[in-house]
Amino acid sequence: MPRTRVNGSQIDFEGIFSVENILLSNGFVVNGVGSKANTFAGIVGDEEAYKLFSDSKKVTDLVKAIHNGDDFLYSEVLNTKIKSIANKEAAIKLFSNTFEWYIGKAIVKEFKAFSSAYGVEIETAYGHKNVGDFDVLAVLRNLNLIYIECKLRKNDKTILKKEHILKTINRSNAIHSIASIIILNSEIDKEKLINDVKYIKYPLREWHGNILEFSTTRVNGPKLLKWYDTYIIQSTKYFDGLIDNLRLVFQLISCTSFMKSKDVGACAANNTTAVEYRKLGYQADQLIDQNCT
């Protein structure tokens, strides 16, 4: 019998390695996943919605259309849809759903993840009852899950509180994800963050640790923050430079794994210092310098 050659493009990797399938294979109960129908992609299509949310200027104008009733000149279809929604809260929910959808699609498109999903509801993980709704989950090429939490309130330096960070970390731990990312549409008060974090221990590890600050020459804005395997992306211009910051996150995740293989770090690879990252060429500064006790 002749052999049949299978072209890689014929294999539905996104379906085979879907977020839901990976969660189910790891023993978790998935109650629901966000639908594209509840995003702008369900109105104008994937490609158009992705292009729109990749442009910070268009996203800014879209927000003005939702909040102020301005005309959205880039899409007559969306402009009509927004004006037809009597309840502004419903339009805001449509926007936030689309942003979460977009983040997942960006991780698939730009970083070759197998799949993504937004609004993922997980019933229970042992030791973590009522785990709840995950904004974005993606399945990376090594089949690890990564969790992204999105906070879209603009120019609010108090948007990220200690309890928000701990809740994100605990959720990430509950599903055994490789890292968690918090995306903010604001620049936070670093001094407050430092004061909040320096007296608490990182969940599961039970250690105090370092908060590191990273920058990339391609992003002119607030710097990326790292506390163990939790990353905080700040923005003051509707996520301008977001993809470059995500690229830096994925490089740092890889770098952390590399350092661990070399036994770098006082107690664990994720507690390495800014000096050690600078040795590998990263632009890193240390906001908190603590040992693992």
SS3 annotation, 141-168: CCCCEEEEEEECCCCCCCCCCHHHHHHH
Domain that holds residue 249: 144-288
Q: How many domains does the chain have?
A: 1
Tens digit of each residue's pLDDT (9 = 90 or more) over 96-133: 999 999 999 999 999 999 999 999 999 766 656 556 78
Residue 233 has pLDDT above 80, yes or no: yes
Residue 276 has pLDDT above 60, yes or no: yes
Compute the CA torsion angle 283, 232, 100, 133 (nearest 10 deg). 150
Q: Provide the residue type at 156 as one letter.
A: D
Angle at 278 between CA 150 and CA 139, to 5 degrees: 35
Residue 125 lies in a domain: no
Residue 235 lies in a domain: yes
Across 112-121, 161-170, 183-192, which has the greatest mean pLDDT? 112-121
CA 241, chain centre distance (Å): 14
DSSP state of 46: H
CA 92, chain centre distance (Å): 19
Residue 168 lies in a domain: yes
Q: 208 or 186: which carries more pLDDT confidence? A: 186
pLDDT confidence of residue 265: 59
Residue 210's Cβ-count burial label (10 Å; 0-12, 13-18, 19+) is buried
Mean pLDDT of 65-91: 89
Mean pLDDT of 241-250: 91
Q: 217 or 61: which carries more pLDDT confidence? A: 61
Q: 147 or 5: which carries more pLDDT confidence? A: 147
Instruction: Specify the pTM.
Output: 0.90
CA–CA gap between residue 254 and residue 248 (Å, rounded): 10
Residue 271 has pLDDT above 90, yes or no: no
Residue 293 has pLDDT above 60, yes or no: no
Residue 263 lies in a domain: yes
CA–CA gap between residue 35 and residue 42 (Å, rounded): 9
Radius of gyration of the chain (CA): 20
Please report, rounded to a whole number, the percentage of residues in the chain having pLDDT higher than 90: 44
* Average pLDDT of the chain to the nearest whole number: 85
DSSP H stretches of helix in 205-241: none
Token readout for 217 is 């020459």
Angle at 148 between CA 79 and CA 119, to 5 degrees: 60
Residue 182 lies in a domain: yes
3-state secondary structure of 5: coil
CA–CA gap between residue 243 and residue 50 (Å, rounded): 13
Residue 3 lies in a domain: no
Residue 213 lies in a domain: yes
Q: 27 or 156: which carries more pLDDT confidence? A: 27
Q: How confident is the model at residue 158 (pLDDT cuts 50, 70, 90)?
A: low
Residue with the two structure tokens 């608490």:
200
Q: Which residues contact 261 (CB under 8 A, 6 or more apart)?
A: none
Residue with the two structure tokens 């490789």:
178
Q: Provide the residue type at 128 as one letter.
A: H
Residue 83 has pLDDT above 70, yes or no: yes
Token readout for 199 is 């007296």
Residue 74 lies in a domain: no
